Amino acid sequence: MNPFSSGTRLRDMIRAIRACKTAAEERAVVRKECAAIRAAINENDQDYRHRNLAKLMFIHMLGYPTHFGQMECLKLIASAGFPEKRIGYLGLMLLLDERQEVLMLVTNSLKQDLNHSNQYIVGLALCALGNICSAEMARDLAPEVERLLQFRDPNVRKKAALCSIRIIKKVPDLAENFINPASSLLKEKHHGVLITGVQLCMDLCKVSSEALEYVRKKCIEGLVKTLRDIANSPYSPEYDIAGITDPFLHIRLLKLLRILGQGDADASDCMNDILAQVATKTESKKNAGNAILYECVETIMSIEDNGGLRVLAINILGRFLSNRDNNIRYVALNMLMKAIVVDAQAVQRHRATILECVKDSDASIRKRALELVYLLVNESNVKPLTKELIEYLEVSDQEFKGDLTAKICSLVEKFSPEKIWYIDQMLKVLSEAGNFVKDEVWHALIVVISNASDLHGYTVRALYRAFQTSTEQESLVRVAVWCIGEYGDMLVNNVGMLDIEEPITVTESDTVDAVEVAIKRHTLDLTTKAMALIALLKLSSRFPSCSERIKDIIVQNKRSLMLELQQRSIEFNCILQKHQNIRSALLERMPVLDEATFSGRRAGSLHTAISTSTGAPHNLQNGIAKPAAAPIADLLDLSSDDAAAPSSSGGDFLMDLLGVDLSPASAPSGTSQPPKAGTDVLLDLLSIGTSPPAQSSSSASDILSSSQDNKAPLANLNGLASLSSLPANATSPASPVPMMDLLDGLGPIPQKHEENGPAYPSLVAYESSSLRMTFNFSKQPGNPQMTLIQATFTNLSPNVYNDFLFQAAVPKFLQLHLDPASSNTLPASGNGSITQNLKVTNSQQGKEP
């Protein structure tokens, strides 16, 4: 068998691997081969080294580790024959990278090969050096490579030139040595040497300013002449591509001229003619011609200004834009983005074509075009451009809608000349693509609406109309519902009609209908429904005639599975039923949100907003995981939770103004008022925290009742304090109120707090005309399961209670321990009190009920 033949066995191995049907089979074959190769390496097998390395390279390409073969490369490179060196160098380039120390060992072989008599071996060495040498190797071998730049064979010279590029990139200090030889390469006739020589000069000029100066002074005329010659040269079969002689050389020369002309007026002057010639004479039917034109345009735009040339360049780009080839259009859009910096006017002329590109079928082109349009917008053309973009929004496809919506919104915000136009455009966007609109955007819209007080009527009517048709656009529904809630009376009474509006009759019940739709529709998410509930509440104050109906709707949500809705509906119901006197004050029109502060905060918290706001719909969970709310969301009471928004401090008046508390008269501080905290404390105390209030109210009663039966709390309450001598009128009146009083006396239940302060305010647990019980709570630090209650009893009747006994019962998961009371006799009329300590231990502290 021929020892140099890697043929048959390599083929067989490849065939065997390809025949494997599963990954496991392939692994088995590869493992076997690797074992054989490793054995051969250990035995220092000369004959099949060549073939083994080829096999190793194939295995490497499949993705398996092959580091054991690295030394084989070195041995092959050190052999005398050409075939071994060839495959050895190939293996070196494939299996190693410059960071490996093994590479250093090759330096000596490389040095010898660079001086070899066989020019092909010199070529191999140059190739390997140029592809993977490290900085040390570069330093060591630079003199050899420099010498080879003047070798007799042009093929070696061109390889040496490219190798030098890597050397000067790795060791920029050596650049000076290469300046002279490199510039002499520019005078050559051989195309390969010219191309590589030009490239070397380019990299030299980038690395060393000396080189730049030198080349500029000495070589520009020569380069211009070369370019002219090649542009005018007749047909040459060897270099012809698509009718142009050596487009690669054209392009390299143009690139080098660009570097030389940049920042230097004289140099730029020299090249104007040839640039004009190339720009006008080059055929642009095939890709090669277009590549040259592209390079030419780049050069024209980068060198010192020549008006005529620039116009020529931008016209070429305009032609590119209408080319049917996607690549050309992409490239043109790219270039135009750079050109806009230089000459915005000229680019504006092509606005129409660019707009067409926004509607292109290719996604990368659409993206580029959109970015370009964004750069083109200014105050004068914002209206027509936005109009076009919004029209396109209706037909664009889903992936693009997000980008497009974001750009339109930001355009509208930046450039809107007047508020009414802004509102109109935003309405259109919301109707069309509300689901893609980010939260900050519609928040900003609401801020603007609230500031444009003369447009309130117009806005709410427009929203009402839009709402009829586009209820699936979430953001639109939210904004509409908010506005209807705020300005419902304007809607019904047609307040502030503008001339351009058509008359519209909306009755009060129509508005309630609209908001009801928002609540009932199952595709809308938690935030929207929550906003709808508040809107209903506002409407109940604005339209007292609809109060009953509104109350019914609200009551329906008391059993909602979502904690937020249930909580709100119970609270609102409370307000409707019991607190009519404060209702109108509570539901006054919102004070105008200060735009300046809003945009300032928004800019500051934009970072947080971006990281925390989610566009995705909120999950239906029982209030356990609250949606991550951007601080701005809290602004409009859109998140149901958490007075502790990430970046807010107590002094954020905007936050609290609209924020978590429903309390009127703008409580400036974020702290809750004691009664509310009380209920919450009670909840937390029993650690039934996450259960809905309805349940907790029954648990609260449990602590005072002996049964868990929800139905008859009153009777139990009555049976509670067994008073040995009851005055006749001491029996609690059998009114249905006490249970509710327990909680009502504490005020509306606040939003659920995840955290509680360590101090719990005291609670009036029971109060009637004859008796008052007050509970003081505390928890020992480190023992959250146990709560200490100090009960204080005060006699409000004129009779003395003797043998006063207090009993309590708790549900099964709690343990109760009663300490003895301070006394058995309760003096009359509040002259004294009895205290008793209770200890309640929650065995399910922190767990879900």
Choices 123-131, 140-148, 264-272, 555-563 (CB under 8 A): range interacting with other proteins: 123-131
Is residue 205 a contact residue for other proteins (CB under 8 A)?
A: no
Binds other proteins (CB under 8 A): choice among 98, 188, 501, 741: 98
Tokens of 83: 């075939």
Binds other proteins (CB under 8 A): choice among 73, 76, 92, 94: 94
Is residue 5 a contact residue for other proteins (CB under 8 A)?
A: yes
To the nearest whole angstrom, how small is the minimum distance from the Cβ of residue 398 to other proteins?
A: 15
Residues between 16 and 35 with contacts to other proteins, criterion CB under 8 A: 18
* Residues 677, 665: Cα–Cα separation, whole Å: 19
* Residues 34, 55: Cα–Cα separation, whole Å: 9
* Residues 442, 437: Cα–Cα separation, whole Å: 7
Nearest CA-CA partner of 424 in 384, 380, 458, 453: 458
Binds other proteins (CB under 8 A): choice among 304, 362, 371, 767: 362
Checking phi first, is residue 832 left (phi over 0); if not, alpha (psi -120 to 50) or beta? beta
Residue number, 158 or 753, with CB nearest to other proteins: 158
Choices 93-101, 662-670, 752-760, 822-830 (CB under 8 A): range interacting with other proteins: 93-101
Binds other proteins (CB under 8 A): choice among 49, 157, 310, 329: 329
Choices 70-78, 161-169, 434-442, 488-496 (CB under 8 A): range interacting with other proteins: 161-169
Binds other proteins (CB under 8 A): choice among 49, 157, 191, 549: 191
Instruction: Give the torsion sign (CA, 105, 109, 114, 115).
Output: positive
Choices 360-368, 477-485, 602-610, 615-623 (CB under 8 A): range interacting with other proteins: 360-368
Residue number, 147 or 217, with CB nearest to other proteins: 147
Give the DSSP per-residue string, 69-100.
GHHHHHHHHHSSSHHHHHHHHHHHHHH--TT-
To the nearest whole angstrom, how small is the minimum distance from the Cβ of residue 23 to other proteins?
A: 12
Binds other proteins (CB under 8 A): choice among 11, 38, 520, 578: 11
To the nearest whole angstrom, how small is the minimum distance from the Cβ of residue 258 to other proteins?
A: 10
To the nearest whole angstrom, how small is the minimum distance from the Cβ of residue 243 to other proteins?
A: 13
Residues between 680 and 739 with contacts to other proteins, criterion CB under 8 A: none
Binds other proteins (CB under 8 A): choice among 9, 36, 78, 86: 86
Binds other proteins (CB under 8 A): choice among 52, 109, 183, 199: 199
Count helices and strands (H / E) in the chain: 38, 7
To the nearest whole angstrom, how small is the minimum distance from the Cβ of residue 591 to other proteins?
A: 47
Q: Reduced to 3 states, what is the DSSP secondary structure of residue 789?
A: strand
Choices 56-64, 348-356, 449-457, 721-729 (CB under 8 A): range interacting with other proteins: 56-64
Checking phi first, is residue 260 left (phi over 0); if not, alpha (psi -120 to 50) or beta? alpha
Residue number, 81 or 591, with CB nearest to other proteins: 81
* H or E segment and range at residue 815: strand 814-818
* Residues 299, 96: Cα–Cα separation, whole Å: 38
Binds other proteins (CB under 8 A): choice among 27, 81, 592, 740: 81
Residues between 747 and 786 with contacts to other proteins, criterion CB under 8 A: none
* Residues 85, 107: Cα–Cα separation, whole Å: 14
Q: Sketch the per residue contact string, 438 through 477, with other proteins: x for CB under 8 A, - otherwise.
A: ----------------------------------------
Is residue 142 a contact residue for other proteins (CB under 8 A)?
A: no
Q: Parallel, antiparallel, or unpaired: how do β-strands 771-779 and 763-767 relate?
A: antiparallel
DSSP state of 757: -
* Residues 337, 365: Cα–Cα separation, whole Å: 13
Choices 31-39, 57-65, 409-417, 422-430 (CB under 8 A): range interacting with other proteins: 57-65
Residue number, 36 or 337, with CB nearest to other proteins: 337
* b/e burial code for range 239-270 (CB count within 10 A of at least 16 → b): eeeeebbbbbbbbbbbbbbbbbbeebeebbeb
To the nearest whole angstrom, how small is the minimum distance from the Cβ of residue 240 to other proteins?
A: 10
Distant-in-sequence contacts of 706-713, Cβ < 8 A, 24+ apart: 706/807, 706/809, 707/809, 708/811, 713/738, 713/739
Choices 156-164, 547-555, 672-680, 746-754 (CB under 8 A): range interacting with other proteins: 156-164
Choices 88-96, 377-385, 417-425, 759-767 (CB under 8 A): range interacting with other proteins: 88-96
To the nearest whole angstrom, how small is the minimum distance from the Cβ of residue 394 to other proteins?
A: 23
* Residues 218, 196: Cα–Cα separation, whole Å: 18
Binds other proteins (CB under 8 A): choice among 138, 165, 373, 749: 165
Are 696 and 792 within 8 A, CB to CB? no
Binds other proteins (CB under 8 A): choice among 70, 107, 131, 622: 131
Residue number, 331 or 423, with CB nearest to other proteins: 331
Residue number, 239 or 813, with CB nearest to other proteins: 239
To the nearest whole angstrom, how small is the minimum distance from the Cβ of residue 632 to other proteins?
A: 32
Binds other proteins (CB under 8 A): choice among 48, 214, 330, 801: 330
* Residues 216, 205: Cα–Cα separation, whole Å: 9
To the nearest whole angstrom, how small is the minimum distance from the Cβ of residue 152 to other proteins?
A: 16
* Residues 159, 167: Cα–Cα separation, whole Å: 12
Proportion of the chain in helix, strand, coil states, percent, rounded to 5: 65, 5, 30
Binds other proteins (CB under 8 A): choice among 21, 99, 285, 812: 99
Judged on CB neighbours under 10 Å (0-12, 13-18, 19+), 63 is: exposed
Residues between 220 and 249 with contacts to other proteins, criterion CB under 8 A: 238-239, 241, 246-249
Residue number, 93 or 714, with CB nearest to other proteins: 93
SS (H, E, C) 546-608: HHHHHHHHHHHHHHCCCHHHHHHHHHHHHHHHHCHHHHHHHCCCCCCCCHHHHHHHHHHHHHH
Q: Sketch the per residue contact string, 265 through 304, with other proteins: x for CB under 8 A, - otherwise.
A: ----------------------xx-xx--xx--x------
Residues between 367 and 386 with contacts to other proteins, criterion CB under 8 A: none
Q: Sketch the per residue contact string, 555 through 584, with other proteins: x for CB under 8 A, - otherwise.
A: ------------------------------
* Residues 300, 339: Cα–Cα separation, whole Å: 10
Residues touching other proteins: how many (CB under 8 A)? 70
Binds other proteins (CB under 8 A): choice among 126, 260, 301, 476: 126
* Residues 731, 771: Cα–Cα separation, whole Å: 10
Nearest CA-CA partner of 825 in 834, 817, 816: 834
To the nearest whole angstrom, how small is the minimum distance from the Cβ of residue 65 to other proteins?
A: 8
* Residues 201, 230: Cα–Cα separation, whole Å: 19
* H or E segment and range at residue 763: strand 763-767
Are 692 and 677 within 8 A, CB to CB? no
Choices 95-103, 137-145, 207-215, 402-410 (CB under 8 A): range interacting with other proteins: 95-103
Nearest CA-CA partner of 660 in 629, 699, 625, 687: 629
Tokens of 824: 């058995």
Which strands sit side by side in the sheet containing 771-779, from one edge to the other?
763-767, 771-779, 786-795, 833-842, 814-818
Interacting residues with other proteins (CB under 8 A): 2-5, 11, 14, 18, 54, 57-58, 61-63, 65, 81-83, 86-87, 90, 93-94, 97-99, 120, 126-127, 130-131, 155, 158-159, 162-163, 165-166, 191-192, 195-196, 199, 238-239, 241, 246-249, 251-252, 255, 287-288, 290-291, 294-295, 298, 326-331, 361-365
